[in-house]
Structure 1
Amino acid sequence: MKVVIVEDEPLAQVELIRLLNACEQTVEVVESLDSIEDTVDWLQVNPMPDLLFLDIQLSDGLSFSIFEQLEITCPVIFTTAYDEYAIRAFRVNSIDYLLKPVEQEQLQQALDKYELLQSQYSAVDYTVLKDLMKGPKSYKDRFAVTLGERIVHVGIDEVAYFYADNSVVYLQTTSPKRYIVNYKLEQLEQLLNPRDFFRVNRTYLVALKSIESVHKYFNSRLLLQLMPATKEEVLVSRARVSSFMDWLEGEV
């Protein structure tokens, strides 16, 4: 059973891992995170775990906002010192709600409940089968953009990167020119070939050919030098560094 823990109190993280290791099930903690931002970043670039342990009050807000930014497809067990969020918790993917300090017996019952639900509701993932039947996926190869009173097209081979500035997303060409596009970065991730483009953080989606150099940076992140050059630093977020390095190696 692969689990991810989201908990901003280091001692609580360690204690939950200890309790999980003492349970009857074989549990692998694949990641421990401590904020909404890191959790969203990690889940966007990694496979969904079997089970998510989620504290509610984190340093950067209530963890319910994670569900507003991502589609969480795995069951969730909330761990919290507060009982007033119970009803709201069960409106999302919650299968249990454990009050801190978490007790071994309560945790064991929650994992037993998870296994029971899995055995009762497991089924063939027909979504995967339908995707296979569609054959190879095709990716977007050009964009229609507005230039004054004209509409022109920009080929994908001309794109250096996309970036978001508040609610506006820009297409930056290698020429260099800049155009507004009517897409969100999340949509562009699905439309573009993942071998050629990578979402390095919440703001930038970059083409491989636009990366001039990569440098190690503070807090286990990476600093990118892009062409054309950017006015701000472009950092690969910590949660995406491993996937980014795989992408550079062509392991997509």
Structure 2
Amino acid sequence: MRLKTVLLIEDEKPNADRLKRLLHHVCPNVDIVATEESIAASVTWLKNNVQPDLILMDIRLSDGLCFEIFNLVEVTAPIIFTTAYDEYTLKAFKYNSIDYLLKPIKQDELTAALQRYEDMFPHAALTQTTLENLAELLSPKGYRKRFLLPFRDGYKTLLTSDIHYFYSEWGNTKAFLKNNQVELISQTLEELEKQLNPQEFYRANRQYLIHIDAVKSIFNHFNGKLKVELKGQSEAEVLISREKSTAFKSWMDY
């Protein structure tokens, strides 16, 4: 596995020791950079160190629930949540989670979770400089704001702000609008993906390119996929693949 660095956040030493053994069995060369036992210690570590490739995070810590960490420091690393309780599944889903493991954690379950990490992050973790450069490239400069569409004997303007989502149907690209109307668009989804602001529009799959404000509900689906319900009378449902689920949640939570 390409996984290099892991931060453990676990307040019970027996559980921490067990996780270390399991990790080193699956990834013999992994560097467990630290083991923190509380919200306060975890925040201090994250503020003063380069974020690891992956965090294994217990939900109930000695000074509260781990979710408080996200209110006190920016966490960019993907996370595998570990807990003895299943009541926090939906809340954990909001963050950079790639899996949710119930204690006692079994080796095959951890192996599967780490393989999911490998599938989602095939390259080394991005440095902060790279992330900043990427953010600059994705800044909303020069992105398409409108379309000029044929209308009767002339043309009309369609603003991107009036569009809920684009979809492909029988070789045509269509825009579903906030007023529930549909317009035919000459560009392909691949072309639109390059022309539109990625902070506003996300390529969910081969068929849909959706606006962030069009998302009505998000549900866990089987095999790690997500099911997204879109606003409007169409009641469209969009599936997000397991490989794209973490990126989609990060896009929604930005």
Report the TM-score when normalising by structure 2.
0.48
**TM value normalised by structure 1:** 0.49
